[in-house]
Each structure stands twice: as structure tokens, then as C-alpha cells.
Homo-oligomer: A and B are copies of this chain.
Amino acid sequence: MADAVTSRESDYSQWYIDVVRKAKLADYSPVRGCMVIRPNGYALWERMKETLDGLFKATGHENFYFPLFIPERFLAREAEHVEGFAKECAVVTHSRLTLNEEDELIPDPESKLEENLIVRPTSETIIWNTYADWIQSYRDLPLLYNQWANVVRWEMRTRLFLRTMEFLWQEGHTAHASKEEAVEEAERMLDVYATFAEDYMAIPVVRGRKTASERFAGAVDTLCIEALMQDGKALQAGTSHFLGQNFAKAFDCTYTDENNEEQYVWATSWGVSTRLIGALIMTHSDDQGLVLPPKLARDQVVIVPIYFNDEQRTQVLEEAQRIQQELDDADIRVKLDADDNQKPGWKFNEYELQGVPLRIGIGPRDIENDNVELARRDTREKNIVPQDGLVARIQDTLTDIQDGLFQQALERREAHTTTVDSYDAFKDVIENEGGFVKAHWDGTEATEARIQDETGATIRCIPFDRDDEPGEDMLTGEHSEGRVLFAKAY
């Protein structure tokens, strides 16, 4: 029997690590800050990727692939961008190893590169350098492209999925003839991310815009979706940037418009990463391990056969295979675990740990009575149900689980969203309750920085649906245009 998962209440951080490792999603690697994404974790990423890719293609995007390496000088072209990324990047300086006199492998001094290469932390620079070649006329626009890639940011404090030195992501990079079109694209892609988060990951998100200090390095405007985790901390689940003409100007990317005048091209970029797997875990999982929304689970149903002798084995497996076939025919993703090396009890525990949404147990007595045992991972309810109508019941239950997970997360978020008017109340909530806090802010970076220094909370976003009235900053008393969303964040 696998060791139990640490409870959330006793140690939330350890609980998270336990779930990741015991559900075999990921593991530490010998390279500090990098992780090994294990088959269970990668299968989840594959489904997320496939779903997102479908949404990108449905909105007119195609995939391409740009080099892993970015010449040092490219980074320097966009002032804010280099400021944002130069301090934490992997620098390639040599192209060969050799043995020194002590027989140790060292970079061969003779292979020192003329120009150092950076392992991409993001690809705006190298892509816009090429867009300058691809774009001549308004007829070449828009370019609606995306790439699935690995990127590296030299993080010191890492945590599996949530913050790793190397991570997998997608980065969309689009080029447009007008500001309006680019802004619209950035908004469209934020909507795609929100749809994916809510309809597939079952994670409710707040859509909004980052303050200037939290913007992507090189962006004019950064839109984001923010989610609330079970411990009351926020997690940024996706960003979509309106880049204005910053990169076009840095890489001299212009087009000839319909009046034959030369114009700089307008840009967006947008991305989500394997970090989302961390968000998924921290939204739905419990003290028994991982909980997966059916739409993203590799196996939606696992069948565990129960038998005590060979005769039963033959009979039970036959029945189990029949059910497997029926579910498979109905496009339900089903696994039959007929491994004789493990006992049913061990399997029950294992699939609970791995978050499989539904478990079917079937033994000799079930067959006698034309029943199966159906166990839900989310509510941990078990029911003896008739085999008759099983497929329809399972389809309904999967829908119910998907919806239920979203509802539960939404209710938790609502319960942990507080509106405050005073700084004392703000500090009290941030310190003791956590969650999202809606408060007035005067719009200055100075106030934002002071609040962060004093409380650890940051402005997660200026929500799009800020329906409340103007007011006064809780700290300075200065004019505020409306409440913004604060929280401590991952």
C-alpha cells in the first residue's frame, strides 16, 4: 500500500509535493530546478495541449517552430525585454567539451563562440527578426502563428510544475496591420484561455489586466486570467499581451499599407505553460490524492476486476472486457486493470491517488446480480448500480463530475473573495483568511509597492467586470477608479 498523502491542513506545501509525486506526475531531476514529467503528468499535458491546439486552430492559427537559441544581441534590441530576461537565462558560450590535464571534461577554450547564445526564455526577439523578412505589404497580414516549445528561465526557487527552470509552453505570436486588430486578437486569445480554464480544467478564472509593474517585459498591455487555489493564494493561469509596435520597432518590421505608406506592424503574444498542471492539482485535489476533471483525464473510468480463484477470474474478466468494450464504443476513455500482481484494494488506492474520475469494481456477486460497484473520485461516493443502462449512467456521471468540480471551485472562490474598505481590514484578511481581496487603489506604482512590501499581497489584476464605483485608495485616500483584485500569489 502506498504511503498516504500529507493532509492539506497539516502542511499544504508538502501535500502538493506528495500529490505530484505519489500520483507519479513529475519528479525532481538531477539538474537543479528542472523536472522530469512522468508519463501520468505528460498524458495530462498531452490532453491539455491537444485541446488548446484545437482552440487555436479554430481561431485561425497555425503552428511553426523557431530555434531554441537566441543570439545575445537580439535580447538587447528591446530595452524592457532585456531588462526582464537577461538576469535569469542560460548562456551557451562553447560548442565542444575536451579533457583538461586532470582528465576532467571542460568546455574546449578553442570552441568559444564568437557570439554567445541564450536559451530562449520566450521568443519575441527571434520571431520578430524573421517577421521583418516575411512581412512586406498589408496583404501579408495578419500572421497568426503559435509554437509549442520548451523555454528556460533561470529561477532560483523552484517548485514542481509551478515554477521550474525549464518548462513546456505554447507561445502565440501574431502580427497585424492595425492597433485595433491586435488589441482584438489579444482579447480573443484571453477568451480562449478563459474558456479552456473553465470548460476543460474546471477552474473558474477572473479576467483582467495587469498593472504596469506586472506587465510582460516589452508589452504595452498584459491581459491575464487569475485563479484561486485551495490555500487562498492566487495563481496566474495565462497571459495575453498587446505588444504595440515595440518589437516591430526594435526589429524594423514594417509593411506598406493600402495607401502605399510604410507603417510599423502591431503585435501580440500569448502563452500558457505546464504551470497549469500545478493549478489543476491545487484546485481540485484532496487528501486522498489527485482529482482530475473528466475532460482532461487520460482514463475517465478504470475497471478493477475482483476474483478469488481461476474460475471466477475467467468469468469476471470476460464481463469486465464486455463493459470495457461498451464504454469504448461510446467514446469513454476506459482502462481495464487486469494485472494479477496487485490486489484490488491496492488498485483502488492507486487509482484514487491518480485521480481517475470513475472506478468500476466488478466481482462474482456483482455478476450474479447484474450489478457493478461505481465509485466517484470527487465525492468518494460508492453505489451498487445495475449493468443495464451503465453507459448512459457513466456519461451522465462524468458530466456531473466535470460540472461539480467547477461549481465547487467557484463557490470556494466566492467564499474567499472579500471586499474591504480600510487598510486594516485588508491586512487582516490577507494575513488571516487569504483569498481574493477587492480594494481601492490609487493607480500609482508607489502605493502598489508599499502594499506588497507590507503585506506580501500583489494586485493580481484590474478585473474587466469591475462594476463598482470610484472611491478612495485604502492606504493613501487618493482617488481610485474602482476596486482592483489583490491576493498573495504563486
On A, residues with C-beta under 8 Å from B are 27, 29-31, 34-39, 41-43, 45-46, 62-76, 82, 86-98, 105-107, 111, 116-119, 126, 129-130, 133, 139, 145, 149-150, 152, 154, 166, 168, 341
Given contacts A31-B70, A31-B71, A34-B67, 18 further A-B contacts (CB under 8 A): A27-B133, A29-B66, A30-B126, A31-B117, A36-B67, A36-B130, A39-B145, A42-B65, A87-B96, A87-B97, A88-B96, A89-B97, A90-B94, A91-B92, A91-B96, A91-B111, A119-B119, A139-B341
Neighbouring B residues of A139 by C-beta, 8 Å? 341
Assembly of this chain: how many copies?
A: 2
Q: Are A86 and B97 in contact (CB under 8 A)?
A: yes
Give A62 Cβ to nearest chain B Cβ, in Å: 4
Q: Are A29 and B72 in contact (CB under 8 A)?
A: no
Neighbouring B residues of A105 by C-beta, 8 Å? 72-73, 75-76, 82, 86
Known contacts A63-B43, A139-B341, A93 near B107 by CB under 8 Å? yes
A107 in complex: contacting residue of B65, B91, B119, CB < 8 Å: B91
Q: Are A89 and B96 in contact (CB under 8 A)?
A: yes
Nearest 5 pairs of A and B residues by beta carbon: A34-B67, A39-B62, A86-B97, A37-B65, A91-B94
Q: How far is the CA of A341 from the CA of B65 in the complex (A)?
A: 28
A63 in complex: contacting residue of B42, B96, B107, B154, CB < 8 Å: B42
A116 in complex: contacting residue of B42, B89, B107, B341, CB < 8 Å: B107
Neighbouring B residues of A118 by C-beta, 8 Å? 97
Q: Are B31 and A69 in contact (CB under 8 A)?
A: yes
Known contacts A39-B64, A105-B75, A119-B68, A89 near B82 by CB under 8 Å? no
Neighbouring B residues of A70 by C-beta, 8 Å? 31
Q: How far is the CA of A89 from the CA of B67 in the complex (A)?
A: 15
6 contacts between A and B (CB under 8 A): A30-B129, A34-B67, A37-B64, A72-B105, A87-B97, A92-B93
Q: How far is the CA of A46 from the CA of B105 in the complex (A)?
A: 38
Q: Are B35 and A67 in contact (CB under 8 A)?
A: yes
Residue of B nearest to A85 (CB): B97
Q: Are A130 and B29 in contact (CB under 8 A)?
A: yes
Give A81 Cβ to nearest chain B Cβ, in Å: 12
Give A92 Cβ to nearest chain B Cβ, in Å: 5
Neighbouring B residues of A31 by C-beta, 8 Å? 67, 69-71, 117, 126
Known contacts A39-B63, A88-B95, A96-B154, A30 near B68 by CB under 8 Å? no
Residue of B nearest to A116 (CB): B107
Neighbouring B residues of A97 by C-beta, 8 Å? 72, 75, 82, 86-87, 89, 91, 118
Neighbouring B residues of A34 by C-beta, 8 Å? 67-69
Neighbouring B residues of A91 by C-beta, 8 Å? 92-97, 107, 111
